Structure 1
Amino acid sequence: MCEKVELSASLDEDGMLDSAALRRALACLAQFRSALDAWKPHAVRVVATAALRMARNASLFLPAAGRALGHPVDLIAGDEAGRLVYLGVANTLGAADPAPRLVLDIGSISTELVIGEGAMIRRIESFALGAVRQSLTFFANGRIDAAGFDAAVRSSRSRFAEAGFGARGWHMAYGACGTVRALAGHAHRGGNAGAPLTRADLAGLRDAFIASRQDVHLAGGLALLCGLMDELEIAAVTPVAAGLRVGALWDLRQRAGAAVGPLANPLGIV
């Protein structure tokens, strides 16, 4: 099941989620409760991420969300989100592979970067910067032009530079998020949507988005990815069909003490 609620886009200037978005979210959770009641899973973990970390009225919404779903909602920090993202990617790609890897997750209003080796995480950084936030800042009127796009790229790059992430010169990174998968779908339309995104691909998408003036929210994600790849000198980003949700399932499995082989793939993801 998948329902699009877009809580992050409903955050106002005072950091409040609007009532219409909250009603949509509660209705969505009620539908999920019906599915869970029918399925009767052995374990459930529900997590809330950046939008609710930033929302000033999250403390009112979270108890109501738990009642609607029938399970408590765990508001997790950016580091925990990054850990779950990496867990999902590592087990999908092969946790036994000892090669260093950079995993990135560009969300609506936050971005997580994780460096690891095999199943071991070495560093996690969470940034209050995401696709929707960049779009609302630089393309608020729905207009995508060269000046606004380039300003969004510079802003993104400066935020990553300020953090002093340090690790540069990556031949390949892995994008565990819908933003990267959607951009790959646009770049490789009619071809292999799972193929890596290069800087040349991003330059082509920049020109296409400016020409069409469509996909405003995705344009914010593209600008963010351009800034990130420039700052960390990433040659290419490969989309991976795994991320926080897959990692949360692996985490549940590990907490239950189930034997998990390093290359096991209970979701059948390829």
Structure 2
Amino acid sequence: MTQEARFAAIDLGSNSFHLIIAAAKRAGGYRIISRYRHKVRLAAGLDQQLRVNDAAIGRGLQCLSMFRNMLADIPLGHIRCVATATLRKASNQQQMIAQFEEALGCPIEVISGHTEAKLIYQGATSAYAGSSKPLLVLDIGGASTEVIVGHGTEPLHLESFDLGCVVWQQRFFHNQTISATACNDAIASARALLADHVGRFKELGWEQVSGASGTFRALLDLRQSRQLTPVIDATWLQQVLAEVIAVGHVQRLHELPLRRDRTAVFVGGLCILIALLEELGIHRVHLAAGALREGLLLQQLAAVTAPSNS
């Protein structure tokens, strides 16, 4: 492998599609060349029959055609693309995969929630190589939420839950009105899904909690705009929830201020995060070093640098 061997990791999430292009370092690891994120909101296209509509598919195809142009100089064997919750559950999955693979020009693997959680943990804890520090990682996706506890870079227990910021936004805030009742219902419903699994996580324990998704980045952007420390705490989240309810409408969330590209699913993600903190007894959350796509890159590099059996 040459020093500048290039790799690409693509994450077809339920809210955004992500692409990372990286170069392998001769001494190990990688350096990021470029990152791309495009809001596709695939989960927003799911109907009651779990069929993704043509509008959402069209947004995905447009994004993947753009990604294909960016991958022109990367060998096919150095590209890995995975799809997560929405494509896992879509009744028209095969049709979508065929269209998406044609647009992207490479195979797409639909991964299980277990595999997704493991990759998220690997990417989120990449900075802890050689450490045995107990860690908890949270990832609030568009249609699923992953919770993983481990030591250093080794996951010990993980769960993928059937709730996400896009799905929760549509279920509880479909008319874009934000009320205390809707927020309380969203939080309570999320807590109910988590409740039976809390014991095992608490039994294993953790010293630090990391968040690895757009919900956390949006909250940290908000803290930065207010010149606050880059750590999310439970008390502050309640303050944000009160502000969101006072604003009263999704289209006014930029007044907080939130970036307009984050407002569409922000309240759904916020309610899920509050439920996670309340149910697990978490007080503080840091931003993770990476997420699923970084986990994909680490797996790719491990595969090409593994000793040959010949």
Whether TM-score is above 0.5 comes out as yes
Segments of 5+ residues of structure 2 without an aligned counterpart are 1-35, 251-262
Q: Which amino acid aligns with 2:186?
A: A
* Number of the residue aligned with 1:160: 194
* Number of the residue aligned with 2:170: 136
Q: Which amino acid aligns with 1:111?
A: T
Shift of residue 65, structure 1, vs aligned partner: 1.3
Distance 1:180 1:69 in 2: 29
Identify which of 53, 56, 79 aligns with 1:21: 56
Q: Which amino acid aligns with 2:270?
A: L
Residues 234 and 129 of structure 1, relative CA distance in 2, 3 Å threshold: same
Identify which of 21, 33, 38 aligns with 1:3: 38
Aligned to 2:159, what secondary structure does the other structure show? strand
Larger relative strand fraction: 2
* Number of the residue aligned with 1:206: 241
Q: Deviation string for 1:130-168 (max 9, x for gaps)?
A: 111111111111111111111111111111003345323
Equivalent pair of 2:125/2:290 in contact (CA under 8 Å): no
* Number of the residue aligned with 1:99: 133
Shift of residue 124, structure 1, vs aligned partner: 1.1
Equivalent pair of 1:170/1:232 in contact (CA under 8 Å): no
Q: Deviation string for 1:63-99 (max 9, x for gaps)?
A: 22112211100000011111111111121x3221211
* Number of the residue aligned with 1:48: 83
Equivalent pair of 1:187/1:205 in contact (CA under 8 Å): no
Root-mean-square deviation (Å): 1.8
Distance 1:253 1:192 in 2: 37
* Number of the residue aligned with 1:264: none
Equivalent pair of 1:89/1:176 in contact (CA under 8 Å): yes
Aligned to 2:155, what secondary structure does the other structure show? strand
Equivalent pair of 1:170/1:233 in contact (CA under 8 Å): no
Q: Which amino acid aligns with 1:88?
A: G
Shift of residue 219, structure 1, vs aligned partner: 0.6
Aligned to 1:136, what secondary structure does the other structure show? helix
Shift of residue 38, structure 1, vs aligned partner: 3.5
Aligned to 1:141, what secondary structure does the other structure show? coil
Aligned to 1:45, what secondary structure does the other structure show? strand
Residues 50-69 of structure 1: pairs in structure 2 closer than 5 A: 50-69=85-104
Q: Which amino acid aligns with 1:78?
A: G
Segments of 5+ residues of structure 1 without an aligned counterpart are 260-270
Equivalent pair of 1:181/1:240 in contact (CA under 8 Å): no
State the percentage of identical aligned residues.
34
Instruction: Point out the more displaced range, 232-241 or 120-129.
Output: 232-241
* Number of the residue aligned with 1:181: 217
Shift of residue 41, structure 1, vs aligned partner: 7.0
Aligned to 1:256, what secondary structure does the other structure show? helix
Residues 41 and 62 of structure 1, relative CA distance in 2, 3 Å threshold: closer
Equivalent pair of 1:134/1:220 in contact (CA under 8 Å): yes
Distance 2:74 2:286 in 1: 34
Residues 250 and 192 of structure 1, relative CA distance in 2, 3 Å threshold: farther
Stretches of 4+ moved more than 4 A in 1?
Answer: 39-42
Residues 164 and 233 of structure 1, relative CA distance in 2, 3 Å threshold: closer
Shift of residue 171, structure 1, vs aligned partner: 5.5
Aligned to 1:154, what secondary structure does the other structure show? helix
Identify which of 217, 221, 229 aligns with 2:265: 217
* Number of the residue aligned with 2:114: 79
* Number of the residue aligned with 2:13: none
With normalisation by structure 2, the TM-score equals 0.78
Does residue 240 of the first structure (1) align with residue 302 of the second (2)?
no
Shift of residue 258, structure 1, vs aligned partner: 5.9
Q: Which amino acid aligns with 1:90?
A: T
Shift of residue 2, structure 1, vs aligned partner: 2.3
Shift of residue 27, structure 1, vs aligned partner: 2.1
Q: Which amino acid aligns with 1:183?
A: L
Equivalent pair of 1:144/1:216 in contact (CA under 8 Å): no
